[in-house]
A and B are shown apart, each in its own frame.
Chain A
């Protein structure tokens, strides 16, 4: 039997959390060291897994299967393809960064690190689970630690933000649960034939045997669950609250990983499981994505709180992911997945940078700063780099991803491309033109923010601020390096993504 590397990757953080529970409360350093080493080990395992993974093949690899509840067709099934592999890697990387950055936490250290490790288990679990039951379990587990992280270590309105986050996402997931069970019953006529296995369900396309109204209702249930998590307009209102109140590392995980669970669910479940409904809904999903892009960018521009600004910018950037998925062609979906990866890197950097300045100044008011460029030159440099990545400067990862999404969106609307690829016309080129406005707006608010925070008169109030220290730099460096690498040379990352995308679309359209 092969080494079950995905299970190891999933449960290693849980084991770390259990070890932390056994360590006495007072021994902070031991707890932090355990957490960091567990997380580092996970990253190493993730890299090993990727090395064992064949990038050129589209289907699921490194699969693990075991019986769990055979009476109900539930099995323990894990596996990764070219879409989930980068996400698993991203999860491990961002978690390690978040845990390393959390070295500064002094309050209730034991619970803090145990919860972060539990959160890592849940997120990795969602990305590798190939059985609905397992998927749903991990999906829901991810809510609990985040609730406590926001609620215990968060800002002044933390209780409100925490419960709002929990309630919003739970509404979506219970609708998904109903959908899962309806699909389960549609998957076979007798109990022995029915299954919760996602791969098997995609092959059987149970939604086609449902009554039309019910099929669309199931689709909407799934879509709402994922759209709340993404979050797509109009389900986004929990996000700014949660982000503003969450501690820095919590925001990093929330924006870097948890939001990706939603878009991952769309590409792994919503689209392949119910392609006909997806095609019917695609223009509407595209419209929602466009509203998210424009609205998120405009709202970001109006913010005076730096953290809230980045929260709204996330809504805009995640809009590109949804838009790419709505296009339902190779470029669109690959671009969307690439954008998920790239946004995970960039937005984590941005939240870390906000955390760095908040640790020192204890305010986040953009207009309260000014002239920081002279006081904190290294910080200024890093911020410029990340801001450029966020606004889509060529040679950085955001540019490649958004370009792909726009190409896919355009292709999805033009007869020229459809004739070569054989896909339906889902949207019009105008979707792509509109999305470009979003990019322009992003550039506007990012540059304006940089100007207000770093340029101008030197503000004497902040003269004593220390520049970014080596721990913080060490946290940021790998994320920034990857941003640059993917931006300059996206090939190694795009290859598995495209292979997986073609595999999914090929199964749906028979090409």
Chain B
């Protein structure tokens, strides 16, 4: 049962938020933000320890000896605990960097926003751990419904509501497609647990309907991940939603859905035509996501929109790792490492944007001109996160990219194989992405500022940037222990 602590902690944090919402006050909100953030980040460390505990032999037994209603629905294995740690980190960081935003930009209902984020993070945990289709779909819905509410949180702002409406209609549609696929999987196999589906289809002769059903299910995941061509909602929602929510949406649901994608499809559909179908979709999805995401990001004038396209591209990089899940042990390790790196650098970049827009109320790329003079801390932080997002050493993004390339090469790369071209597309895309990340940095450093007025950085968001900077640097410099922890966790996936 102790393996369930991350989920329980998030429910508790969310519930406290709802209680506070009944009698809101400035002091209570502040205490809730800070304490909730600290509790979640502490919980993330705890979840990391749980992952470590579960890799040991007795730990595995404990995980398996959980009550039946738990062990049949959730795989509390090291891999899922790593993603629980990620969920807690996302939640905690979101709490902390939302502090100033909530105080200045929202008039009421601030505790609810944080509570919903905690519940959505709980959905992330269960999605990454789910081992049968009802739980998976349930977690996806939890994430989605929370996401719709969060996107609409500035209910007097037309852009926010418009973003939420688009998110809702496209999200609901994609989840219906996923269910349609799910219903056929259930009909063809009579099972809903992943291993059962695999066993029922093991004999071969599965016809054409199962691959179709698998691909339909992929639509739902593709939507959550923002894989091209299911990415249309992403830029609009990211631009319209409140910025802390955008930051959360760009990391949380995406990572959880990727973990679930890797688990579901590698366990349930490892055979013949079904496998060919989903691997094919992922292959092209990865190529298109990387290329389109980076290409369109080049000409964005709104920085949130730019990061939306960049997050599509990053989903593409991670899909490469998911694509090779069945071919190498390294794939899940690569996914986990990249997920951690992406969390730190992307949330960090968003924290910079939040700090800037808290003061200037502007998200246009042009307004960042000369930021290096107005606030060197923000400007240099952006440089670090930008370089890390490109994948340059010695920062976290580099380690993630190296791991993904290693996972792909580990499959036995040969001259002219599709995977080789995939890798070449991947590295050339990092070059393209340099242009817009560092282009914004160039604005900050090379252009004269609009005004000389300094940009004050609030305590909450400043702390969050600091944590992300530390994470971005330490992932490479202190790589040994981190990598061994993640790698051994990723090797241990409960089927």
Binding site for B on A (CB under 8 A): 67-72, 74, 111, 136-137, 140-141, 143-144, 147-148, 151-152, 158-159, 162-163, 166-167, 170-171, 174-175, 177-178, 181-182, 184-185, 211, 213-214, 217
B134 at the binding interface (Cβ < 8 Å): no
Could you say which of B423, B428, B442, B483 contacts A163, with CB atoms under 8 Å apart? Answer: B442
A213 to B414, CA, bound (A): 9
B438 at the binding interface (Cβ < 8 Å): yes
For A158, the closest partner residue in chain B by CB is B446
A177 in contact with B413 (CB, 8 Å): no
| Total residues of chain B contacting the partner, CB 8 A | 37
With A137-B394, A211-B414, A214-B415 in contact, is A178–B483 under 8 Å at CB?
Answer: no
B438 in contact with A166 (CB, 8 Å): yes
1/0 per residue, CB under 8 A from A, across B479-494: the answer is: 1100110010000000
Please, which residues of chain A bring their CB within 8 A of the CB of B372? 111
A178 in contact with B424 (CB, 8 Å): yes
1/0 per residue, CB under 8 A from A, across B395-426: the answer is: 00010011001100110011110000001100
B402 in contact with A141 (CB, 8 Å): no
Please, which residues of chain A bring their CB within 8 A of the CB of B402? 177, 181
B445 in contact with A171 (CB, 8 Å): no
Could you say which of A140, A158, A171, A211 contacts B428, with CB atoms under 8 Å apart? Answer: A171
A209 to chain B, nearest CB (A): 12
Contacts A170-B392, A174-B428, A213-B416 aside, 14 further interface pairs with beta carbons under 8 A come to A71-B484, A71-B487, A140-B392, A143-B392, A144-B387, A151-B445, A162-B442, A163-B435, A170-B431, A174-B431, A175-B427, A181-B409, A214-B413, A214-B415
A68 in contact with B480 (CB, 8 Å): yes
A148 to chain B, nearest CB (A): 6
B434 at the binding interface (Cβ < 8 Å): yes
Please, which residues of chain B bring their CB within 8 A of the CB of A182? 409, 413
For A185, the closest partner residue in chain B by CB is B409
B393 at the binding interface (Cβ < 8 Å): yes
Main secondary structure of the interface of A (DSSP, over half): helix
A214 to B419, CA, bound (A): 13
With A71-B487, A137-B394, A175-B427 in contact, is A163–B439 under 8 Å at CB?
Answer: yes
A171 in contact with B480 (CB, 8 Å): no
Please, which residues of chain A bring their CB within 8 A of the CB of B424? 178
A73 to chain B, nearest CB (A): 11
A148 in contact with B479 (CB, 8 Å): no
B430 at the binding interface (Cβ < 8 Å): yes
> Mind listing 27 A-B residue pairs with CB under 8 Å?
A68-B480, A69-B480, A69-B483, A70-B480, A71-B480, A71-B484, A72-B483, A111-B372, A137-B394, A137-B476, A140-B392, A143-B392, A151-B445, A151-B446, A152-B446, A158-B446, A167-B434, A170-B392, A174-B428, A178-B405, A178-B427, A182-B413, A185-B406, A185-B410, A213-B415, A214-B413, A214-B415
A426 to B428, CA, bound (A): 33
B480 in contact with A67 (CB, 8 Å): yes
Please, which residues of chain B bring their CB within 8 A of the CB of A214? 413-415
A217 to B438, CA, bound (A): 29
Please, which residues of chain B bring their CB within 8 A of the CB of A185? 406, 409-410, 413
B393 in contact with A137 (CB, 8 Å): yes
B480 in contact with A174 (CB, 8 Å): no
A399 to chain B, nearest CB (A): 40
Please, which residues of chain B bring their CB within 8 A of the CB of A162? 442, 446
A212 to chain B, nearest CB (A): 8
A170 in contact with B434 (CB, 8 Å): yes
Those 7 A-B pairs whose CB atoms lie nearest each other, nearest first? A213-B415, A174-B427, A137-B393, A214-B415, A151-B446, A69-B479, A137-B394
